[in-house]
Amino acid sequence: MVSIDLADPVVQSYLFYSSVLALKMFLVALLTSKTRIQRNVFANQEDATVSKGKVKFDDPEIERVRRAHLNDLENIPAFWVLGALYLTTGPSAFVATTLFRVFTAFRILHTLVYAVKPLPQPSRFIAFVIPMIINNYMGLRVFLTYVGAY
């Protein structure tokens, strides 16, 4: 097991891209709110009453943005855990930084092609599967590094 040093460029890269992903998730939450306000459609009666809107759970535009946010909530925390564990395997700085960078870029692309400017398949599939492959690769590297420990 490799110790984690905050001065290590690989650790700094992980922390940087992790923060970009956290900020991105918050921005998608704001995009959901913005879309609700623009369409005057809300999930709670008290919100609808204040703005004289309506409660509706099946608005297609709001649901698209909300699903993009849920997809982030399913995939980005896994990246945080697997990425942190991956750091303990002593990865090459180039490989690790490339993985973190590509994961982040494709998660941003996923939001763009899913919620901001929907594009036909396979754009969303590609933007989803590349980060999934990266998470699986990091998980496998961690597993193979520590499988002999037990």
The domain that holds 132 is classified in CATH as 1.20.120.550
CA dist list (Å): 94 to 9, 12, 106, 148: 10, 13, 18, 26
Q: Which pLDDT belongs to residue 104?
A: 98
* Number of structural domains found in the chain: 1
Q: Which residues of 38-58 are buried (b: 16+ CB within 10 A; e: fewer)?
A: eeebbeeeeebeeeebeeeee
Report yes or no on 49 lying in a domain: yes
Report yes or no on 4 lying in a domain: no
Report yes or no on 1 lying in a domain: no
Q: Which pLDDT belongs to residue 71?
A: 96
- Between CA 41 and CA 84, with CA 32 as vertex, the angle to 5 degrees is 155
Expressed as residue numbers, the domain containing 112 is: 9-145
Cite the DSSP H helix spans in 8-122. 9-39, 45-51, 60-87, 93-111
Report yes or no on 130 lying in a domain: yes
Q: Is the peptide bond before 122 cis (omega within 30 degrees of 0)?
A: yes
Report yes or no on 2 lying in a domain: no
- CB of 29 closer than 8 Å to CB of 66: no
pLDDT below 50 — which residues of the chain?
none
Answer yes or no: pTM beyond 0.85.
yes
Report yes or no on 150 lying in a domain: no
